Copies of this chain bind each other. A is one copy, B any other.
C-alpha cells in the first residue's frame, strides 16, 4: 500500500517501506494514468495532469550500499480493480509513428483515441474477434540515481521506464545500488505489449505485483541486467536506437567476460551468431533494447 505516488525517482523522498534482503513485497500499482482515464470519452489531452506514470516506493533495502546490486525477482502480477480495468490510447504528439516534442514537425496531431478494455488473467478482450493473451510485466522499475531525480517516463542506467516485456514473472532483474538502501521504485504494469510499445501506450492496468528483493554485494552494474531460466540479458536505454543496441551488447560482452570466462573478442564474435535482441520501447525519452544470449552457450 502506497500513500502518495511518485512521478520522479530519486533519493529525495522518504522510504515508504523498509525491507531485508530476501523479503517479498506486494505492491498495489496504479496504471500509468493513475486511473484518470475512466471511460472512452476521457481524452488524455483533457483529463491527464502534468505528471504521468505514478511509481510505488521508494523501498529501502537494509544493507544495500553503493557498489552493490539488487536482484529483483518478479513473482506474480495480477490485475486488480473494477472492469474495464485496461486502458490504451493515443496521446497527441506522442508515439512511435507520430511527431513528438523531440522529433518535432509541423503536422497536426494524430487522432486521439481511448480504448477501455476488460482485462483478466485469461486475456484482454480487444474486440469480438481478438483476445490478447495476458502476458503481464512491469513497465517501470528502478533504483534511485545517486543525486539526480529522473522523471518516471525516462529509462536509463537506473532502470526506469524500459517497457521491456522480459521483466515478467519468473525473471529476475538486476539493478545498481547508487544510494544507501537502493530505493526501489516500480509501477506501470502492462497486461501485454508488442515490441516497441508502438503508439506509446500499452495495455495499462492496475495490479497487485509481487516481487522478491535480494542483495548482491559488490557487483557494480553500468546498465540493468536480467536473467530468465534460459538466458541472460543486458539492457541499454539511450538514443538513437543503435546506441541502445550498442550499450546493451557491449554490456553483455563485459558480463560474459567478467562472469563466464569469455575473452571479449570471442564473446563479440559468438554474439554475432547467437545473440538475440528485444526492443523494449521506441517511444520514451530513451529507447530501450535488451541484448541476450541463451545460457546453453555460456
Is residue A268 contacting chain B, with contact meaning CB distance below 8 A? yes
Q: Do A96 and B194 touch (CB < 8 A)?
A: no
Q: Which residue of B lies closest to A110 (CB)?
A: B106
Q: Do A106 and B264 touch (CB < 8 A)?
A: yes
Residues of B within 8 A of A253 (CB): 97, 106
Q: Could you say which of A36-44, A71-79, A242-250 contacts chain B?
A: A242-250
Q: Which residue of B lies closest to A50 (CB)?
A: B146
Residues of B within 8 A of A147 (CB): 7-8, 51, 149, 151
Is residue A29 contacting chain B, with contact meaning CB distance below 8 A? no
> Once the chains are docked, how many angstroms separate the CA of A251 from the CA of B238?
23
> Once the chains are docked, how many angstroms separate the CA of A116 from the CA of B187?
49
The quantity of this chain's copies bound in the complex is 4
Residues of B within 8 A of A243 (CB): 102-104, 239
Q: A99-B105, A106-B265, A150-B148 are in contact. Are A272 and B194 (CB under 8 A)?
A: yes
Is residue A202 contacting chain B, with contact meaning CB distance below 8 A? yes
> Once the chains are docked, how many angstroms separate the CA of A237 from the CA of B70?
33
Q: Do B269 and A199 touch (CB < 8 A)?
A: yes
Near B by CB (< 8 A), chain A positions 164-213 give 192-203
Report which residue of A8, A88, A249 has the largest number of chain B beta carbons within 10 angstroms of its beta carbon: A249
Q: Which residue of B lies closest to A269 (CB)?
A: B199
> Once the chains are docked, how many angstroms separate the CA of A251 from the CA of B39?
31
> Once the chains are docked, how many angstroms separate the CA of A270 from the CA of B197?
10
Residues of B within 8 A of A7 (CB): 147
- Expressed in whole angstroms, the minimum distance between the Cβ of A178 and any Cβ of chain B is 10
Q: Do A273 and B194 touch (CB < 8 A)?
A: yes
Q: How large is the interface on A (under 10, 10 to 19, 20 to 34, 35 or more residues)?
A: 35 or more
Q: Per-residue 0/1 for A124-142: is the Cβ within 8 Å of any B Cβ (1 yes, 0 no)?
A: 1010001010000000000
Q: Per-residue 0/1 for A90-103: is the Cβ within 8 Å of any B Cβ (1 yes, 0 no)?
A: 10000111110111
Residues of B within 8 A of A146 (CB): 50
Q: When the two chains form the complex, which single residue of B51, B124, B273 contacts A202, counting CB atoms closer than 8 Å?
A: B273
Q: Do B106 and A250 touch (CB < 8 A)?
A: yes
- Expressed in whole angstroms, the minimum distance between the Cβ of A157 and any Cβ of chain B is 8
> Once the chains are docked, how many angstroms separate the CA of A126 from the CA of B124?
44
Q: Do B107 and A195 touch (CB < 8 A)?
A: no
- Expressed in whole angstroms, the minimum distance between the Cβ of A122 and any Cβ of chain B is 15
Residues of B within 8 A of A193 (CB): 272-273
- Expressed in whole angstroms, the minimum distance between the Cβ of A65 and any Cβ of chain B is 15
Which residues from chain A sit less than 8 Å from chain B, CB to CB? 7-8, 10, 12, 50-51, 88, 90, 95-99, 101-108, 110-111, 113, 115, 124, 126, 130, 132, 146-151, 192-203, 222, 236, 238-243, 245-247, 249-251, 253, 264-265, 268-277, 279, 282, 287, 291, 297
